[in-house]
Amino acid sequence: GAVVSQHPSWVICKSGTSVKIECRSLDFQATTMFWYRQFPKQSLMLMATSNEGSKATYEQGVEKDKFLINHASLTLSTLTVTSAHPEDSSFYICSARSLNTYEQYFGPGTRLTVT
Amino acid sequence: GESVGLHLPTLSVQEGDNSIINCAYSNSASDYFIWYKQESGKGPQFIIDIRSNMDKRQGQRVTVLLNKTVKHLSLQIAATQPGDSAVYFCAENNGKGSGGSNYKLTFGKGTLLTVNP
C-alpha cells in the first residue's frame, strides 16, 4: 500500500519550453502533496505544498509563476515548469500524505534536463 | 534553519558491522522525526520515525535515538549489508503552518553510507 508514482521518470526539453510532471497516489487519497527539488549530492528542498482543491503554498524563493502546481483531485497533482532554463535541470520528487497522518510517501522522482 | 550542504558526509563500514548515522536538527519545536533512505536515482524510502515524546524506537535492524536536549538524532543499523548502501536523510516536522503546511518536512544534508563486502 501507499504507493506514489510520477510521470515521466525522465524528460529532456529545450530551453524556453514548458514541462509537466504528474504525481499520483495509487492506493490512497492524498489530501496534501509536496513537491521537492534535489540537485546532485544535495538534500531535498521543499518547493511547495499543495492541498486538494486549493492554491499551493510556495516556499520562500520559489517562483509560483514559473512552477505551476495543480492539485485537482485527491490522487493527482501536477507540476509544470514553465519557460524552462538549463538551471532548472534537477531531480523533482513529489510526496503525498493522507488525512490525519504525518507520514509522507515519496514518488520515484523525475529527472529533468533542459538543453 | 535548513541544513543543506554542498558536499555529502560519508560513512564507510564493513559488511556485518553496525552503522551509526548522526543528524543535528535545527528546530527545538520539531515534534516528529523521520529517517529516509535514498538510493541513486530514486525517491526517498521511509525507514523509521519517532515522536518527540520518545527517546528511542526500534525497528527491524534499525534503531532511532532522539536527544532533544542537544537536538540530535541518530540512526543505528545493525549487521550492515551491501544493500544498505545509500544516502540517509533525517527529516523534521515542527507542526507549524496551516492545513497541509502543518506537515511539511525539513530535510538534513544527508550521509552517504558505503558498505564494503
Q: Provide CB contacts within 8 A for A100, sequence distance 6+.
A: none
| A5 touching chain B per CB within 8 A | no
| B1 touching chain A per CB within 8 A | no
Q: What is the pLDDT of residue B98?
A: 60
First to last CA, chain B: 37
Task: Give the confidence band of B96 by pLDDT, cuts at 50, 70, 90.
Answer: low
Chain B interface disruption, residue of A54, A94, A104, A105, most B CBs within 10 A: A104
Q: How far is A108 from chain B (nearest CA, A)?
A: 4
Q: pLDDT digit string (tens) for B5-40? A: 346 899 999 999 999 999 999 888 899 999 999 999
- The answer to whether B107 and A43 are in contact (CB under 8 A) is yes
Mean pLDDT of A73-100: 94
Instruction: Identify which of A43, A46, A111 has the shortest CB distance to residue B89.
Output: A43
CB atoms within 10 A of CB B96: 11
Q: Which of residues 6-45 of B touch A (CB under 8 A)?
A: 6-8, 32, 34, 36, 41-45
Interchain pair B5, A42: CB under 8 A? yes
| Measured distance CA(B57)–CA(A112) in Å, rounded | 37
Interchain pair A103, B44: CB under 8 A? no
| A34 touching chain B per CB within 8 A | yes
* Dihedral angle of Cα B19, B23, B28, B33, to the nearest 10 degrees: -60
Residues in chain B: 117
Q: How far is CA B116 from CA B16, B39, B83, B100, in A?
A: 9, 16, 10, 41
| Measured distance CA(B90)–CA(B104) in Å, rounded | 13
Reply yes or no on whether the pLDDT at B53 is more than 60. Answer: yes
| Measured distance CA(A68)–CA(A5) in Å, rounded | 19
